[in-house]
């Protein structure tokens, strides 16, 4: 067989094997026995071994996983992957439907889908080939896990669509795979996975794709992020479209024409949930009409046209053995229940939040009580109530101490607060918690500096303030337990890289009271440099959208502290970046800025800049970029092969610019 014949045979075998895989893993209806598939696969392997230059990424032989990766690169989502708002009862669902109906004059229909308990993913295809897969991450930036996703047999490596398409869904571990994996880990005396979701997430974040390949994961696709050929008017038709393209969709979705039908669907699956071969943790309800979705739009965090109903939290009974105190980075002393281990919603719980002394008194919780535990939102364990009828008389009431358990300073209760605080700025517990916050993912994001390492460095006297992190030396780190040369080098490299972080990460990391990650970004965008922010007045701060009076007051007070001024000076000397690196706010007058306050849609292929670059430029000039054309759209920027969005803009009489006109407007 010469190379040309081999190429022809490979293409034939690939098409046949991909067809067999689709029938088996997506349609659950195989047309040939397993032995036939295995035989064809072996034949393909032999030819590819003979002609390795003919191996392509869409070959079924590439599903087994390649060489281990050194790390995951970051992927910027062109359209954010937003999370959904939650509903916990019938009234929440009725309120959702009422709010949606108030936002449109159309009759509403809904699509209900099972909420798969897995890991949100996005898949990108170009010229019919699967080229990239990523996690949701923080919704804006995810991790490239293409190599691991390629091992999931229900994900097609090629589709009959040459235009670029991005689809979204959930990767999960079926019950059967989960039980087999934990059985194997038990035999190997390895720690068991707590639940299928953790197992799926852990499998897809393995640097060795061969491990992911061995875990037998699966996937359901439920949405389209970006696709020029997406012309259907409803979400229900979009699900059908995904299935026609060869993607695995969950068959249990249902179109409902009223909120009463939605409630019936929720009630049915609340009962039937245990009979599914995979885990679900709720129901997703979406407005079916895509135009209505566009009209309803989004809040800062989630769409107004969809909501996630969460199943009622499982409640269990166990004994409260003790109450332990911890001191947070702001000095708040928090009581935590120490429990006899008990399984709740798939994980073993030994600790649960008690929030504050007032709550303990209100619920009459005592040490030694039998108590009811649940997970708030299926995540955070909390004590619901004590079972007073089961008391023996040996139970002890709990009283908060008058002194800080970490440093012995007097605890105080600030005005209008229920929490007790330690106000000693040198309290070791606060210092450690502040360091842990500074290096966390949403702050300076220093990989390798987790809680355990911070505590180790603190106890060894190597760090006391955040500035000390940037003075760590290789030789002193190598002397510590569990610190090898490679881990030390990686840690120092991560610390070095963090010096270049944009200003908003540093601001959030400093732990200014009331200033979260979003507010830090707002401040960084507005003032652009640390020097300008340090000089900002209360009036200047309160004038900014999204900055309230408490936040403004907190920022002014924070930068008025001499120790903060000294710290900023120290960090500058250590060469930390003090400037905002994101898109700058528009500096031109609004009347001469064609994008300020305008809703813009980008469509078609652009030659001189990428779509994310164009989006960033428009937003920096005060514009808003959306994914679909509606009556609310002000401008459509059309590149080559603009497709249906261009047609819709013509139909609605919306202003349309080509790429050349767009660039002229930017330059102007």
Catalytic annotation, residues: 115
DSSP letters of 86-140? EE-SHHHHHHHHHHHHHT-SSPP-EEEEEEESSEEEEEEEETTEEEEEEE-TTSS
- CA–CA separation, 201 vs 199, rounded Å? 6
How do 306-310 and 366-367 pair as beta strands? unpaired
- CA–CA separation, 231 vs 161, rounded Å? 14
- Of 282, 330, 528, the residue nearest 429 (C-alpha): 330
Going 455 to 457 to 458 to 464, the CA torsion angle's sign is negative
Query: Cα 622 vs. chain centroid, distance in angstroms?
Result: 26
Query: Cα 478 vs. chain centroid, distance in angstroms?
Result: 34
- What tokens were used for 192? 């068991």
CA distances from 334 to 329, 356, 461 (A): 11, 6, 26
How do 280-287 and 380-386 pair as beta strands? unpaired
HEC letters along 13-64 = HHHHHHHHHHHHHHCCCCCCCHHHHHHHHHHHHHHHHHCHHHCCCCCHHHHH
Neighbours of 514 (CB within 10 A): 15
- What tokens were used for 7? 């190429």
Greatest Cα pair distance in the chain: 88
- CA–CA separation, 486 vs 47, rounded Å? 40
Contact 374, 344 (CB under 8 A): yes
How do 306-310 and 85-87 pair as beta strands? parallel
DSSP strand E in 354-395: where? 366-367, 370-376, 380-386
Contact 585, 532 (CB under 8 A): no
Contact 253, 278 (CB under 8 A): no
Contact 508, 443 (CB under 8 A): yes
């Amino acid at each position: 067989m010469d190379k040309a014949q081999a190429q022809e045979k490979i293409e034939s075998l690939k098409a046949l094997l991909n067809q067999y895989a689709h029938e088996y893993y997506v349609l659950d209806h195989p047309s040939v026995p397993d032995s036939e598939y295995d035989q064809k696969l072996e034949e393909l392997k032999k030819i590819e071994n003979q002609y390795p230059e003919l191996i392509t990424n869409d070959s079924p032989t590439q599903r087994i996983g390649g060489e281990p990766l050194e790390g995951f690169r970051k992927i910027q989502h062109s359209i954010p992957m937003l999370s959904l708002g939650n509903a916990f009862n019938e009234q929440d669902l009725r309120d959702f439907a009422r709010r949606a109906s108030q936002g449109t004059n159309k009759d509403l229909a809904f699509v209900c889908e099972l909420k798969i308990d897995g890991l949100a993913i996005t898949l990108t295809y170009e010229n019919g080939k699967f080229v990239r897969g990523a996690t949701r991450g923080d919704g804006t930036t995810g991790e490239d896990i293409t190599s691991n996703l390629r091992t999931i047999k229900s994900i097609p490596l090629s589709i009959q669509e040459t235009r670029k398409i991005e689809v979204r869904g959930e990767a999960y571990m079926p019950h059967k795979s989960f039980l087999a994996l934990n059985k194997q880990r038990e035999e190997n005396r390895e720690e068991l996975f707590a639940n299928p979701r953790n197992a799926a997430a852990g499998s897809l974040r393995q640097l060795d794709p061969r491990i992911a390949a061995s875990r037998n994961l699966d996937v359901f696709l439920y949405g389209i992020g970006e696709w020029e050929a997406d012309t259907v008017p409803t979400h229900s038709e979009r699900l059908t479209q995904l299935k026609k393209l060869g993607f695995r969709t969950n068959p249990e979705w249902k179109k409902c024409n009223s909120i009463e039908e939605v409630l019936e669907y929720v009630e049915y699956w609340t009962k039937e949930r245990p009979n599914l071969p995979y885990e679900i943790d709720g129901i997703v309800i979406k407005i079916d009409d895509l135009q209505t979705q566009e009209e309803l739009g989004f809040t800062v965090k989630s769409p107004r046209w969809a909501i996630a109903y969460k199943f009622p939290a499982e409640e269990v009974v166990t004994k409260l053995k003790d109450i332990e105190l911890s001191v947070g980075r702001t000095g708040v002393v928090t009581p935590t229940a120490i429990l006899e281990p008990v399984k709740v919603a798939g994980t073993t719980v030994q600790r649960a939040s008690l929030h504050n002394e007032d709550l303990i008194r209100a619920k009459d919780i005592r040490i030694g009580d039998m108590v009811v535990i649940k997970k708030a939102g299926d995540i955070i364990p909390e004590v619901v109530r004590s079972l007073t009828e089961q008391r023996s008389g040996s139970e002890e009431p709990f009283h908060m101490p008058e002194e800080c358990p970490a440093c012995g300073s007097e605890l105080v209760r600030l005005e209008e607060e229920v929490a007790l605080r330690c106000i000693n700025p040198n309290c070791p517990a606060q210092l450690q918690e502040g360091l842990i916050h500074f290096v966390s993912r949403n702050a300076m994001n220093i990989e390798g500096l987790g809680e355990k390492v911070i505590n180790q460095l603190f106890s060894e006297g190597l760090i006391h303030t955040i500035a000390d992190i940037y003075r760590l030396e290789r030789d002193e780190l190598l002397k510590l337990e569990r610190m090898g040369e490679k881990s030390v080098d990686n840690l120092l490299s991560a610390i070095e890289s963090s010096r270049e972080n944009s200003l908003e990460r540093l601001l959030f990391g400093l732990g200014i009271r009331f200033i979260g990650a979003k507010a830090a970004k707002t401040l960084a965008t507005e003032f652009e440099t640390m020097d300008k922010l340090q000089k900002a007045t209360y009036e200047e701060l309160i004038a900014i959208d999204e900055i309230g009076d408490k936040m403004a007051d907190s920022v002014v007070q924070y930068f008025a502290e001499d120790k903060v001024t000294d710290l900023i000076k120290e960090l500058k000397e250590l060469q930390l970046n003090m400037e905002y690196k994101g898109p700058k706010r528009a500096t031109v007058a609004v009347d001469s800025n064609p994008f300020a306050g305008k809703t813009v849609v980008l469509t078609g292929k652009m030659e001189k800049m990428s779509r994310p670059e164009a989006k960033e430029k428009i937003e920096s000039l005060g514009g808003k970029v959306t994914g679909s054309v509606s009556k609310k759209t002000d401008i459509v920027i059309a590149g080559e092969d603009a497709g249906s969005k261009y047609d819709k803009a013509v139909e609605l009489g919306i202003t349309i610019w080509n790429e050349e006109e767009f660039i002229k407007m930017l330059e102007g």
